[in-house]
């Protein structure tokens, strides 16, 4: 496919997941020979998330009116339905030309039904234009997941022991839990179980932000609690975040981007799904666990971790989940990744 100029729009709502996906997507396009203008209303997180940047990705501020004299790109992408104002669409989107709404990730059945459907604009200044829904997903009838072309090779070269000796303070071979969560109701009980005197040694890598605040609220700032040792992680690049997932025995992840990265890690995982006020996240979580073909104890742990009130987490051994996650990863690797599928879609729909 020839090199095109993509305008990717992103609004940072909270927790940096929006810009995290936006950057990975933009960098994935650049790695395949495309040029990208990433328009974002708050790019501050990229200072630690992507400190090296990318020469083929221009990060541009998105606020107010579009810059004067802006040359239209070839493809327009709005991530997570960020609702690009008409004046921006008129400024950056060629007519005709592909206009993509890159949607949220879900394993629910509507994703396959909605994937690639057109959405014509019937009135207003954009009347006559059409955007298309593009849904990431876990099955071949969806848009797939973000995956770098060199991911497998980097994982083969990865030295787990060396990484943990550098990043896990005082690690001596004990099991490692990577904790990246919001404030799950079951967190205090989970921490209390790990630090009980009769438990074997365990090490928790605590992500900065909400996870660290929740742990500190229960345990305080100390790093040693009986057999439990904590490492307070600093903000890190996406590459280093991925390596932490590869290095850990169990990954407790949250949101969308870290779930996908944990699936590529192939290690046992527990997903803290983003809570919604209407409870819709429970159906979304159940659909994911069905796709995963999760065993009963993994389902029970997810229900407790994502419960609205504290619940006793059932006894479980994450090592029993290794085969389940390995099978899921193999299914995903057999499918085309999201960027490859979107490039094919644009090539088929772009005007000639």
Average pLDDT of the residues of the chain: 93
pLDDT at 351: 63
Q: What's the CATH class of domain 151-333? A: alpha beta
Q: Give me 30's structure tokens.
A: 């650049």
Query: What span, in angstroms and rounded, lies between the C-alpha atoms of 311 and 255?
Result: 21
Give the pLDDT mean for 317-338. 95
Of 287-291, 308-312, 347-351, the poorest mean pLDDT is in 347-351
Q: What percentage of the chain has pLDDT greater than the value 90?
A: 78
The domain defined by 5-146+336-347 folds into Rossmann fold (3.40.50)
Q: What number of CA atoms fall less than 13 Å from residue 288's CA on the CB side? A: 25
Domains 5-146+336-347 and 151-333 share a fold: yes
pLDDT of residue 82: 87
Which three-class secondary structure state does DSSP give residue 59? strand
* Residue 284 in this model has a pLDDT that exceeds 70: yes
Return the minimum-mean-pLDDT range out of 86-95, 201-210, 296-305, 313-322: 86-95
Quote the percentage of the chain above a pLDDT of 70.
Answer: 99
CA-to-CA distance for 82 and 208, rounded, in angstroms? 26
135 vs 144: CA distance, rounded Å: 8
Active site residue 256: yes
Q: List the chain domain ranges.
A: 5-146+336-347, 151-333
Asked if 18 is an active-site residue, the reply is yes
Alpha helices in 248-334, H assignment, sequence order: 257-265, 280-292, 296-305, 322-333
Q: Is the pLDDT of residue 281 over 90?
A: no
Tens of pLDDT, residues 208-224:
999 999 999 999 999 99
Give the DSSP letter string of 109-144: THHHHHTT-EEE--SSTTTT-EEEEE---SSTTS--
Q: Report how far residue 59's alpha carbon sits from residue 27's, in angstroms, rounded to the nearest whole number.
A: 11
299 Cβ contact list (under 8 Å, min separation 6):
289
Average pLDDT over residues 240-257: 96
CA distance 5 to 57: 10
Rounded distance, CA 176 to CA 302, Å?
19
* Closest alpha carbon to 330 in 288, 287, 292: 292
Catalytic residue among 18, 74, 108, 243: 18
Could you count the other beta carbons within 10 Å of the beta carbon of residue 116?
Answer: 16
Q: Is the pTM of this model over 0.85?
A: yes
pLDDT number for residue 172: 97
CA distances from 41 to 82, 88, 92, 108, 332 (A): 11, 13, 16, 30, 32
pLDDT for residue 14: 73
Given the DSSP bridges, would you call strands 224-225 and 228-232 parallel, antiparallel or unpaired?
Answer: antiparallel
pLDDT band at 132 (very low <50, low <70, confident <90, very high): very high
Does 352 have pLDDT greater than 60?
Answer: no
pLDDT on residue 310: 87
- Per the residue annotation, which of 103, 242, 256, 337 is the catalytic one? 256
């Amino acid at each position: 496919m020839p090199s095109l100029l993509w305008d990717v729009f992103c609004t940072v709502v909270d927790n940096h997941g929006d810009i995290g996906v936006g950057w990975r997507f933009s960098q994935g396009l650049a790695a395949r020979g495309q040029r990208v203008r990433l328009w974002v209303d708050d790019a501050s997180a990229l200072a630690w998330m992507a400190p090296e940047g990318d020469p083929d990705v221009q990060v541009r501020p998105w606020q107010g009116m579009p810059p004067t004299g802006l040359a239209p790109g070839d493809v327009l992408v709005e991530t997570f339905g960020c609702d690009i104002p008409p004046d921006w669409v008129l400024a950056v989107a060629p007519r005709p030309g592909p206009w993509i709404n890159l949607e949220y990730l879900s394993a629910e059945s509507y994703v396959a039904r909605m994937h690639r459907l057109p959405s014509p604009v019937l009135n207003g200044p954009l009347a006559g234009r059409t955007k298309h829904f593009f849904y990431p997903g876990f099955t071949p009838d969806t848009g797939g997941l973000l995956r770098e072309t060199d991911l497998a090779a980097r994982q083969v070269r990865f030295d787990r022991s060396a990484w943990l000796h550098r990043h896990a303070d005082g690690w001596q071979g004990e099991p490692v839990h990577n904790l990246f969560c919001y404030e799950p109701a079951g967190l205090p009980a989970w921490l209390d179980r790990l630090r009980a005197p009769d438990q074997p040694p365990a090490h928790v890598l605590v992500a900065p932000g909400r996870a660290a605040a929740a742990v500190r609220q229960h345990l305080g700032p100390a790093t040693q609690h009986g057999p439990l040792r904590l490492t307070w992680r600093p903000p890190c690049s996406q590459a280093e975040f991925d390596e932490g997932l590869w290095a850990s025995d169990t990954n407790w992840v949250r949101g969308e981007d870290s779930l996908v990265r944990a699936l590529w890690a192939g290690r046992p995982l527990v997903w803290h799904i983003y809570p919604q006020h209407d409870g819709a996240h429970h159906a979304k979580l159940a659909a994911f666990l069905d796709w995963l073909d999760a065993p009963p104890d993994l389902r029970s742990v997810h229900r407790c971790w994502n419960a609205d009130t504290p619940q006793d987490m059932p006894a479980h051994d994450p090592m029993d989940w290794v085969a389940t996650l390995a099978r899921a990863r193999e299914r995903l690797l057999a499918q085309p990744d999201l960027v490859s599928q979107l490039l094919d879609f644009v090539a088929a729909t772009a005007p000639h």
